[in-house]
Amino acid sequence: MFRRTKILATLGPATDDPKVLDKIIEAGVDVVRINFSHGTAEEHLSRAEKLRSRARAFGRQVGVLADLQGPKIRIERFRDGPIELGEGDEFTFDAGLANGDGDQSKVGISYKELVDDVKRGDNLLVDDGRLVFWVDHVEDKEIVCRVVVGGKLSDRKGINLQGGGLSAAALSEKDKNDIKTAAEMGADYLAVSFPVCADDIHLARKLFREAGGHGGLVAKIERAEALNCIEEIIEASDVIMIARGDLGVEIGDAALPPIQKRLISLGRTMNRVVITATQMMESMIENQIPTRAEVFDVANAVLDGTDAVMLSAETAAGKFPAKAIIAMDRICREAEKQRQASQSDHRIHTEFKYIDEAIAMSTMYTANHLKVKAIVALTESGSTTLWMSRIGSGIPIFAFTGHVDTRRKVTLYRGVVPVSFDITTTDHAELNREVVDELKRRGSVRDGDLVVITKGDLAGVMGGTNAMKIVKVGDLIEPDFDE
């Protein structure tokens, strides 16, 4: 059975072993994430190069997503290792304390301006919300707190302000340098952490293009205030990632499920790709099978229409990277069997702006009502397949293109399969035969199957798709009516 939902896997120390890298490619990973929060530029470039080399060896197209660290606000290090805090303890976050001088009563902070962003009554959440601190008062460079939820606290844990409102810019100086590295590696997608407005995405895109990058922009939705202008952020982006860790900490865990469903629906309505991320199968960092709750989590995201589901530490640092992908693959396939995962009323009552968009929507309506076996888009930019992928369907969409950048881009689109294909003839009937022959070679169709092919009159022109052809495999393919 063809899996439509795409799987992202984060590369890291656990995947540096060539044998492990081969196993995750064999397991079916579609896109890899390179996390710029850890490691050096040289390590990132090496991982991207090795991944693409091994993917080529397997005859696979695997995309690369470069994930910027963003203004991650963290505590500094403790002098004598982790501490244990109890409810009611007084504890201070001290912007003036040197890194490595933390003790039982205080610790330094990496973001010195935090003292200007908080006031009495605020709640600071540390280590993904595992510890909660109530701000008693702010004095000079010190934020004096009372522990509301205690526990073990160790070096370099992240800090969130409940409800949002931190003033840190989305792009740090480190991020701006990392954008150059992402461009150098030819990243297919660049993920921007903690954006609060569309301008954050526009700036990242500008810097990425100036550095020579051509990939799409991913807005990671993880700040509470981003939800106040979410449509503008989505419009500025090519992809949104529902980054549930920091977002859940800021808005509260109970508010997260309906927000996730809304963001998936909104992203698809606005013709943007959606990634659902964070702790999807976290137990598989240590265990060989997921929990039942994790199975439900992945399945529900698929049923809601997410384009992709993502693994983080499960593959970057876990004991069983390939098994995590295999388990996620199995869950996605089973969820996709459900009727609600392959139905859609997307844009039934709206007008189309472009001819190629109208062809894409017409194709999906026709294919879903004619028991078509495969859909082929002869595409330059991949836009036709993006529009097609917004419609719920169990039919594979093949992006036939001669552009490697386009093949890498569509690895993230739900239900879309990249195929390397160069147009060598101006004869439309011959071109149709070549397309069908490629599908037969892949074992995707056989005699008697129906195939829908979309293309443009002028090969090599982006946005030029203006025709849809229905052919039956095994029949004599007649010339298009314009010949």
Q: What backbone phi and psi angles, to 5 degrees, belong to 420?
A: -75, 120
CA dist 377 and 138 (Å) reads: 60
Q: What is the mean pLDDT of the chain?
A: 93
pLDDT of residue 466: 85
Instruction: Render pLDDT for 379-416 as a digit per residue (tens, 0 to 9).
Output: 999 999 999 999 988 999 999 999 999 999 999 999 99
Res. 237: pLDDT tops 70: yes
Residue of 278, 306, 363, 379 marked active site:
278
By DSSP bridging, strand 159-161 and strand 123-126 are: antiparallel
CA dist 265 and 305 (Å) reads: 7
Instruction: Render pLDDT for 328-384 as a digit per residue (tens, 0 to 9).
Output: 999 999 999 987 655 555 555 566 777 888 899 999 999 999 989 999 999 999 999
CA dist 412 and 409 (Å) reads: 6
Residue of 4, 6, 220, 373 marked active site:
220
Contact between 77 and 94 under an 8 Å Cβ cutoff? The reply is no
pLDDT of residue 428: 84
CA distances from 314 to 61, 224, 466 (A): 22, 26, 44
pLDDT of residue 343: 56
Residue of 33, 323, 455, 469 marked active site:
33
- The single-letter DSSP state of residue 78 is B
Q: How many residues does the chain have?
A: 483
Residue of 74, 130, 174, 180 marked active site:
74
Q: Is 33 a catalytic residue?
A: yes
What are the tokens at 423? 């147009």
CA dist 409 and 183 (Å) reads: 15
CA dist 345 and 286 (Å) reads: 41
- Mean pLDDT value of segment 412-427: 93
CA dist 445 and 237 (Å) reads: 35
Contact between 387 and 271 under an 8 Å Cβ cutoff? The reply is yes
